[in-house]
């Protein structure tokens, strides 16, 4: 066995042990350890990706060298390695971009605890991606939930504690259902390793034995994971959790945490249940319907929202709806589109959160439409980044959002019952997305002083200006402090990386799509 095969296990262990290590370090050192760990794990994942891409087949790593039905296994294909790498990149960018906010918003004595949570979060995400054992997956789902809860409530105010409580309640309901579904499946098949369960499920499906318990189990697991990843009716905790937590938490939660659960669900569909059994069941239709409702309701809620972070959070609800709609199509193309959207949304949503915080900082902390007017001029890079993110979310060509919408539409073509609803939902959702994202973009590029003399005068008084003495250009800049790129070089670099990532995903999607297809073929 090649030495590279140890890397997935090593990355999980490094992240797992660096968590407790951070409890005894000072905040500054914990930050360094955390960044180093993310970089190392990213490099290791890239090596694994290169190796698996070269051999062209997935490898199985036996933990403790116990043979198949007894031991615990890690199984890595192209898609898993790529996801591990991608999650590391996004997490590093989020952590780097939110460093200043963390220092301001988290108490001095609790700084290092934040990095404990982040390390454990990365550990659980990696384990969810790599593991081949259902019960291990369940345990790491819980670790993921607990550390995500820590990320929300590290910034101590009433809102975040309430949001963390609501998040925990929803997550626990979801994991209860997941655990029950898993026990059913274990009871039916007698195995915990995914590949072994699949063999048994295949036999059960052929003989038609235990059909109802099998479907109940698949349903329970799907609903459980859907609840945890905030599919529409279970999203109540999401806007507060994303809207009021510190910047890097919001970015990581929106772009990684829910994606880990979705990835696990896709893995369960392919490797545990088997795709043929899934297509034969009605479970996918339920996910499809809720996905479509989520796409539209999420956008409608976002339109009513006045505050920028909460608007972006509601937009996440809509995007998760897209992903579940793709899964619900229950075709190979639908899955490819969903996984591409997981990647594209992960890159775009974190960009939007970082850009939004830049705009807020340039508007004296104001987060509403009116406060943000003209902030695109005051913080140019954040303005550009927000525009790029918005265009991507709306689905403009050249940006990553367009590619995923295109693939969703292509996947739906020729589907007997689901083609028309998908097209209609995509169209409506795109219009709604455009309505609220473009409203925000126009708002950040419109001068705060609009020409209506009375209103302008009242704003000028608020801002402490003597209206009439200064030119419009100066006034447009006013209303907050002007932020240049050189003031925040790290954040600027992170934003530029996000923008570049978005363009790469949008303009160069072909190799990624091919890799997802290859990865899915290795999945089974």
Partner 1 sequence: MSLGNLVGNYEEAVAMILFGIGFSNLLLQKNLIKKIIGLNIMDTATYLFLALKGYIEGRKAPVVVDGVQSVEAYVNPIPSGLVLTGIVVSVSVTALMLSLTIRLYRRYHTLDLDEISTQLKKEGK
Binding-site ranges for partner 1 (CB under 8 A)? 135, 138-139, 142, 145-146, 149, 153, 157-159, 161-162, 164-166, 168-169, 172-173, 176-177, 179-180, 183, 186-187, 192
Element (H, E) at 329: none
Residue 492 Cβ, how far from partner 1 at the closest point, in Å?
A: 30
**CB–CB of 313/242 below 8 Å?**
yes
The count of other CB atoms within 10 Å of the CB of residue 324 is 28
Comparison of 131 and 350: residue with beta carbon closer to partner 1: 131
Comparison of 47 and 180: residue with beta carbon closer to partner 1: 180
Comparison of 98 and 150: residue with beta carbon closer to partner 1: 150
Strand partners, 61: 74
Instruction: Please report where in the chains the tokens 């001029």 appear, as a residue.
Output: 377
**CB–CB of 145/128 below 8 Å?**
no
Q: Which residues contact 432 (CB under 8 A, 6 or more apart)?
A: 296, 299, 300, 302, 303, 318
d(CA 478, CA 296): 37
Residue 180 Cβ, how far from partner 1 at the closest point, in Å?
A: 5
The count of other CB atoms within 10 Å of the CB of residue 63 is 14
Strand partners, 75: 60
Counts for the chain of helices (H) and strands (E), in that order: 25, 2
Residue 502 Cβ, how far from partner 1 at the closest point, in Å?
A: 32
**Token pair of 473 as six digits:** 């250009």
d(CA 297, CA 304): 11
Comparison of 177 and 382: residue with beta carbon closer to partner 1: 177
Residue 135 Cβ, how far from partner 1 at the closest point, in Å?
A: 6
d(CA 301, CA 314): 6
Strand partners, 193: 133
DSSP class of residue 55 equals: H
Residue 484 Cβ, how far from partner 1 at the closest point, in Å?
A: 30
Comparison of 123 and 177: residue with beta carbon closer to partner 1: 177
Nearest 5°: the CA angle 306, 242, 30 is: 140
Residue 252 Cβ, how far from partner 1 at the closest point, in Å?
A: 19
The count of other CB atoms within 10 Å of the CB of residue 209 is 11
Residue 372 Cβ, how far from partner 1 at the closest point, in Å?
A: 18
Q: What are phi and psi of 67, to 5 degrees?
A: -70, 170
Comparison of 183 and 438: residue with beta carbon closer to partner 1: 183
d(CA 44, CA 11): 7
**CB–CB of 89/46 below 8 Å?**
no
Residue 191 Cβ, how far from partner 1 at the closest point, in Å?
A: 10
Comparison of 147 and 281: residue with beta carbon closer to partner 1: 147
Instruction: Please report where in the chains the tokens 């659980």 appear, as a residue.
Output: 124
Comparison of 103 and 142: residue with beta carbon closer to partner 1: 142
- Rounded to 10°, the helix 489-507/509-523 angle is 80
Residue 173 Cβ, how far from partner 1 at the closest point, in Å?
A: 6
Residue 364 Cβ, how far from partner 1 at the closest point, in Å?
A: 16
The count of other CB atoms within 10 Å of the CB of residue 233 is 12
Nearest to 269 by CA among 179, 319, 184, 335: 335
Residue 312 Cβ, how far from partner 1 at the closest point, in Å?
A: 18
Residue 374 Cβ, how far from partner 1 at the closest point, in Å?
A: 24
Comparison of 180 and 521: residue with beta carbon closer to partner 1: 180
Residue 193 Cβ, how far from partner 1 at the closest point, in Å?
A: 12
Comparison of 100 and 159: residue with beta carbon closer to partner 1: 159
Q: Is 521 exposed, middle or buried (0-12, 13-18, 19+ CB in 10 A)?
A: middle
Instruction: Please report where in the chains the tokens 């891409």 appear, as a residue.
Output: 53
Q: Which long-range contacts (CB under 8 A, 24 or more apart) does 408-412 make?
A: 408/322, 408/325, 408/326, 408/334, 408/337, 408/341, 410/333, 410/337, 411/326, 411/329, 411/331, 411/333, 411/334, 411/336, 411/337, 412/329, 412/334
Comparison of 218 and 475: residue with beta carbon closer to partner 1: 218
Comparison of 141 and 520: residue with beta carbon closer to partner 1: 141
Comparison of 83 and 188: residue with beta carbon closer to partner 1: 188
What would the DSSP string read from start to end of 37-94? HHHHHHHHHHHHHHHHHHH-S-EEEEETT--TTTSEEEEE-HHHHHHHHHHHHHHHHH
């Amino acid at each position: 066995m090649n030495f590279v095969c140890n890397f997935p296990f090593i990355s999980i262990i490094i992240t797992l042990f660096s968590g407790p290590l951070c409890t005894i370090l000072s905040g500054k050192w914990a930050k360094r350890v955390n960044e180093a760990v993310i970089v190392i794990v990213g490099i290791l994942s890239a090596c694994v990706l290169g190796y698996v891409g070269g051999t062209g087949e997935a490898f199985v790593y036996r933990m403790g060298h116990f043979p198949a039905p007894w031991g615990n296994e890690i199984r890595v294909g192209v898609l898993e390695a790529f996801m591990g790498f991608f999650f590391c990149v996004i997490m590093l960018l989020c952590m780097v971009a939110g460093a200043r906010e963390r220092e301001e918003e988290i108490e001095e004595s609790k700084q290092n605890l934040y990095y404990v949570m982040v390390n454990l979060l990365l550990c659980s995400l990696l384990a969810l991606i790599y593991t081949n054992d259902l019960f291990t997956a369940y345990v790491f789902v819980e670790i993921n939930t607990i550390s995500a809860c820590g990320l929300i409530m590290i910034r101590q105010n009433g809102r975040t504690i309430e949001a963390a409580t609501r998040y925990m309640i929803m997550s626990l309901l979801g994991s209860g259902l997941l655990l029950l579904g898993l026990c059913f499946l274990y009871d039916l098949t007698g195995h915990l390793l995914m590949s072994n369960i699949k063999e048994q499920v295949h036999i059960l499906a052929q003989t038609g034995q235990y059909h109802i318990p099998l479907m109940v189990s698949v349903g329970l697991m799907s609903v459980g994971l859907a609840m945890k990843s905030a599919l529409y009716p279970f999203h109540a905790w999401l806007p507060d959790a994303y809207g009021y937590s510190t910047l890097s938490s919001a970015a990581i939660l929106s772009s990684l945490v829910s994606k880990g659960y979705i990835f696990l669900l896709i893995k369960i569909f392919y490797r545990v249940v088997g795709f043929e059994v899934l297509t034969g069941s009605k479970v996918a239709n339920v996910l499809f319907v809720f996905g479509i409702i989520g796409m539209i309701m999420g956008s409608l809620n976002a339109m009513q929202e006045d505050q920028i972070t909460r608007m972006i959070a509601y937009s996440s609800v809509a995007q998760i709806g897209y992903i579940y709609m793709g899964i619900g199509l229950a075709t190979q193309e639908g899955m490819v589109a969903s996984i591409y959207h997981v990647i594209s949304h992960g890159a775009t949503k974190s960009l939007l959160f970082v850009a939004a915080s830049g705009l807020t900082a340039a508007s004296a902390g104001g987060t509403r439409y009116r406060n943000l007017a003209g902030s695109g001029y005051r913080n140019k890079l954040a303005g550009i980044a927000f525009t790029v993110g918005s265009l991507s979310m709306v689905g403009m060509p050249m940006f990553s959002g367009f590619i995923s919408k295109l693939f969703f539409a292509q996947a739906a073509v020729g589907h007997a019952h689901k083609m028309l609803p998908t097209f209609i939902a995509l169209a409506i959702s795109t219009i709604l997305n455009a309505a609220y994202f473009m409203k925000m973009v126009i708002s950040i590029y419109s001068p705060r002083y609009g020409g209506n003399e009375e209103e302008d005068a009242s704003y000028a008084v608020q801002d402490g200006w003597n209206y009439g003495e200064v030119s419009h250009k100066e006034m447009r800049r006013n209303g907050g402090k002007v932020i240049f790129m050189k003031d925040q070089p790290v954040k600027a670099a992170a934003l530029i990386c996000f923008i570049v990532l978005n363009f790469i995903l949008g303009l160069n999607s072909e190799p990624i799509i091919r890799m997802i297809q290859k990865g899915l073929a290795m999945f089974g």
